[in-house]
Amino acid sequence: MPALPIIAISIGDPNGIGVEIILKAFSNPAHFHHCIPVVFAHLDFMEQQQEHFNTTAPLAEQTGNPKQGLLYVASIWKSLPKVSFGEQSPLAGKAAFESLEAAVTAVKIQQADALVTAPIHKVSIKSNAFPFAGHTHYLAKKWGGTALMILAHKLLRVALATDHIPLREVSHQLSQPLLKQKLLQLNATLKRDFGCQSPKIAVLGLNPHAGDQGVIGNEDDAILVPVLKELVDDGIKVSGPFAADGFFGQKKYANYDGVMSCYHDQGLVGFKTLAFGQGVNVTAGLPFVRTSPDHGTAFDIAGKGQAKEESFVHAIAAAATIWQTRQKKI
């Protein structure tokens, strides 16, 4: 059995629930069985937040010889951010970006084995340094490739052919090469990271009723169908396109290892209806493991002690499990 992975954790937006769910998760000693966690922020800041939330996580300054059972903090901030729970702030966004950059760098230089990110606020963090729609695009750019967003749960795994883009742009961005690339990524990660020997993948149609043979748009027949035929001919078990409403309503997802959604809400409304708070966001296509909880900054409850840490706990466990799975195949 490989040693426990060191997991780099970015705190997300300080005005959101990120720090709260991190502290709550590691106030439970059982969650140290998965990994050795390192939070990139500042020890003084984490101690202040621990006092605010009345949590009991065993905090310690990061050392060169980490031991199991402590929540290590890498003090990377020169000054502590002023916390205004629930408020949008560029200063909070700057602190979130610095935490993310430091955590990613730790993985890149192999001081950490995997990355888990707490939720950012996309407006607060937006800047010349972070002109992205979210973590996935940032990480893809950082490594000079493409990344695939997957929401994973024991009931289903939903991947997105297009993710954080306006709905009006979906039909323009969706193409045969893009769909083929994303399906190949999904097939590979289902094998590599989720232990599916011969994955079965369902593809949701772009238009209502998957286009009804061209009556409701021709994209399904012109883009999706040729790609699926090509991949089936290559031996990949991919089916569709399916009308999304009937696919979820009839629980057809139970017959597949993964589902490819053409756009964000098409797949994630179904996913979050079934699994909200228990799902994990997994980024495929990167040279390292990255996960996050399946929710956002939750400004409406930030600072009130009401945030549930369950999805973050699942994200930590998933990162450790996927990392262990990859070690066994090396």
| pTM score | 0.91
Cβ neighbours, 10 Å, residue 167: 11
Tell me the pLDDT tens digit for each residue of 270-283. Answer: 998 888 888 899 99
**What is the distance between the alpha carbons of residues 128 and 98, in angstroms, rounded to a whole number?**
13
- Please tell me the predicted confidence (pLDDT) of residue 28: 97
Kindly state the tokens that stand for 226: 């040729």
pLDDT at 32 over 50: yes
* Domain map (residue ranges) of the chain: 1-146+286-330, 148-283
Alpha helices in 135-283 (DSSP H): 135-142, 167-173, 176-192, 219, 225-233, 244-249, 264-275
Q: What is the mean pLDDT of residues 304-322?
A: 95
Q: What is the mean pLDDT of residues 236-251?
A: 95
pLDDT at 96 over 90: yes
Q: Name 230's Cβ contacts closer than 8 Å, sequence gap at least 6.
A: 180
Q: What is the mean pLDDT of residues 94-98?
A: 97
Tell me the pLDDT tens digit for each residue of 103-147. Answer: 999 999 999 999 999 999 999 999 999 999 889 989 988 887 788
The closest alpha carbon to 152, from 289, 297, 258, 265, belongs to 258
When the pLDDT of each residue in the chain is averaged and rounded to a whole number, the result is 93
Q: Name 75's Cβ contacts closer than 8 Å, sequence gap at least 6.
A: 41, 42, 43, 44, 61, 62
> For the structural domain made of 1-146+286-330, what CATH number should be given?
3.40.718.10
Domain pair 1-146+286-330 / 148-283, same fold:
yes
> For the structural domain made of 148-283, what CATH number should be given?
3.40.718.10
For residues 141 and 22, the model is more confident at: 22
